[in-house]
A = this chain, B = another copy of it.
Amino acid sequence: MCFTSLKNLFLVMAKFVRIFNKKILYHHSGFRTSFNNISTAPKIKSVSEVLKSKHVGQVKVQGWVEAIRKMKKLIFVDIQDGSDLKKLQLTLDKDAAPPDLSYGSSVSAIGSVTINQDGKAELAVEEIKVLGTCPPVSEGYPLAARQPYNSNHLRQYLSLRLRAPPFRALLRVRHRAHSLLHDILDAQDFTLVHTPLLTANDCEGAGEVFRVQPDCEQLITEMRSADFKDKSAEEVFFGRKAFLTVSGQLHLEAAARAMNRVYSFGPIFRAENSKSRLHLAEFYMLEAEMAFVDGIENVTKMIERIMKRLIRGLLDSCSEDILLYRKLTNRPTEPDWLEHLDQMVVQSFAVISYADALQMLTEATDEKFKSRPQDGTALSKEHELYLVKRNGNLPLFVVEWPADLKPFYARPCRGLGLEAKVEAVDLLCPIVGEVCGGSVREDDLCRLAAKLSDAELSQKLDWYLDLRRYGNVTTAGFGAGFERILQMVLGTTNIKDAIPFPRWPHNCQL
């Protein structure tokens, strides 16, 4: 299609349009007659809308039965529809209850909103219909009314567990956290860049990547055209091996040299044989990159700002959902929990050096560490959590890392005694340890090229070196695990309960 002269085109088409109009079934401003009866029915309202009602009146609600209480003449039915963490109480005559009205069934009810003496809205039912029945636990449904939820049990039924109230709460918290993160970054002048998930790059997570290739033999055969005769099945689609990304950082560095502040938010993959409470094969990461920065404190400052605004935002909008979620771990209404989160927002995040962290760990002779810390080695989870505990269970940054423990692109520290260190940072948090890692990126073309000593690697990453050849600036950035942040906010030890459809070794349900 081309639109060289739209006005002429419009004129020519006027004739067409007249014929076309006769074929139109309806516009939404004027439905076909058969749809008109919709408007005579009572207004459909969500549970949340009814609960917030200040006025009485006839409405229709739809939802799932969460509880049934039978009195002498009346039945109270609590329903919810995901729009609110609170349930709506329906009141109906015992005679009017359909026989298949049971826990888990979906219903539609017409009735009058009434406001209780305590100001709570409920529905006096005039008409109720069971839309979809729900057999009891004995017949296979894994959820029962008022049963404590066992998260291991629920994990066996990923297609149904979202209906358990703690998981409905999780979805609301994730939704809000996601939208807060985008708003916070937008307000800080970051531009979203969708970095590719399919990449030719495997250098960062050598050995930890998933490989991607078409599943269809016929397609592979077809594509093995003259040019690609010598390519293996795994190379033929893209002309080279392709992997699922372990980080969008290198691509963000390219974008940062166009837009200054950029970020990505999306799934990241790791082929690790780990079933630990902190690892998934597919998880979400926020990654951000800033141009024209100099010094790791630009990174720690930005991470602290984003984390605090996120936690504050969740406390303001999702406190009840956070406590509801904690039913999953049998820690339901612990007001201290919210106070603890509040402290994270109020207190400054501490910044300590790797050397000092190591000294503290070495001096902690009372602690029964499974492994003693050693200079030049990574901090283990127990070490990270000890440091957090020592900081009053509040988040802290560790900076000035040994170069060997950080990726090739971290820039060496400047300063006396810091020659073998790089400008990298880890943010350590309660429950999960490392939530966030970042660095100032090596901006020197020669030093960077020297580090990519492997010829194949330096050819593959020539585009990355190009970024330093043309209009170079120093950039710095970080990546934060979204599920780990949620784990910390929700206080759950298992990352599989912080994502709707977890994937881990031997587990790819649905």
Q: Are B131 and A466 in contact (CB under 8 A)?
A: no
CB-CB under 8 A from A62, the residues of chain B are 260, 291-292, 473
A258 CB–B CB distance under 8 Å = yes
CB-CB under 8 A from A195, the residues of chain B are 500-501
**Known: A211-B213, A250-B510. Is A197-B197 also a contact (CB below 8 A)?**
yes
How does the 8 Å CB contact mask read for A308-351 relative to B, with 1 for contact and 0 for none?
00000000000000000000000100101101100000001111
Q: Are A3 and B340 in contact (CB under 8 A)?
A: yes
When chains A and B are docked, how far (Å) is the Cα of A219 from the Cα of B407? Answer: 22
Q: Are B468 and A132 in contact (CB under 8 A)?
A: yes
Q: Are A28 and B300 in contact (CB under 8 A)?
A: yes
A266 CB–B CB distance under 8 Å = yes
A58 CB–B CB distance under 8 Å = no
A155 CB–B CB distance under 8 Å = no
CB distance from A219 to the nearest CB of B (A): 6
* Residues of A175-226 whose CB lies within 8 A of B: 175, 178-179, 182, 186, 189, 191-202, 207-216, 218-219, 222-223
Q: Are A162 and B471 in contact (CB under 8 A)?
A: no
When chains A and B are docked, how far (Å) is the Cα of A70 from the Cα of B211? Answer: 53
CB-CB under 8 A from A198, the residues of chain B are 269, 281-282, 503, 508
**Known: A16-B390, A179-B186, A471-B104. Is A238-B162 also a contact (CB below 8 A)?**
no
A399 CB–B CB distance under 8 Å = yes
Q: Are A46 and B189 in contact (CB under 8 A)?
A: yes
When chains A and B are docked, how far (Å) is the Cα of A19 from the Cα of B386? Answer: 13
**Known: A23-B352, A208-B216. Is A472-B108 also a contact (CB below 8 A)?**
no
Q: Are A168 and B259 in contact (CB under 8 A)?
A: yes
CB distance from A167 to the nearest CB of B (A): 7
A438 CB–B CB distance under 8 Å = no
CB-CB under 8 A from A237, the residues of chain B are 210, 271, 281, 505-506
Residue of B nearest to A463 (CB): B159
CB distance from A10 to the nearest CB of B (A): 7
When chains A and B are docked, how far (Å) is the Cα of A284 from the Cα of B189? Answer: 23
Interface residues on A, range: 35 or more
Residue of B nearest to A360 (CB): B23
CB-CB under 8 A from A82, the residues of chain B are 191, 258-261
Q: Are B106 and A471 in contact (CB under 8 A)?
A: yes
* Residues of A338-370 whose CB lies within 8 A of B: 339-340, 348-353, 356-357, 359-360
A115 CB–B CB distance under 8 Å = no
CB-CB under 8 A from A349, the residues of chain B are 27-28
Q: Are A473 and B132 in contact (CB under 8 A)?
A: yes
When chains A and B are docked, how far (Å) is the Cα of A351 from the Cα of B17? Answer: 13
CB-CB under 8 A from A301, the residues of chain B are 28
A251 CB–B CB distance under 8 Å = yes
Interface residue from B16, B104, B200, B510 paired with A200 (Cβ < 8 Å) = B510
A134 CB–B CB distance under 8 Å = yes
Interface residue from B3, B210, B356 paired with A336 (Cβ < 8 Å) = B3
CB-CB under 8 A from A218, the residues of chain B are 207
CB-CB under 8 A from A172, the residues of chain B are 191
When chains A and B are docked, how far (Å) is the Cα of A81 from the Cα of B291? Answer: 9
Residue of B nearest to A143 (CB): B470
When chains A and B are docked, how far (Å) is the Cα of A160 from the Cα of B464? Answer: 10
Q: Can you name 20 extra interface pairs (CB under 8 A) apart from A62-B473, A237-B281, A240-B508?
A: A7-B336, A16-B389, A16-B390, A19-B390, A31-B297, A106-B471, A108-B292, A159-B464, A160-B254, A160-B466, A171-B262, A179-B186, A179-B192, A210-B212, A211-B213, A211-B215, A212-B212, A212-B244, A228-B506, A254-B510
Can you pick out 29 interface pairs between chain A and chain B where the beta carbons lie within 8 Å of each other? Answer: A3-B334, A6-B339, A25-B353, A26-B351, A28-B300, A35-B295, A35-B297, A46-B189, A62-B260, A132-B473, A140-B469, A159-B254, A159-B464, A160-B470, A174-B192, A178-B182, A194-B501, A196-B510, A199-B510, A202-B215, A209-B215, A210-B237, A215-B243, A216-B271, A237-B506, A238-B281, A238-B507, A240-B508, A463-B509
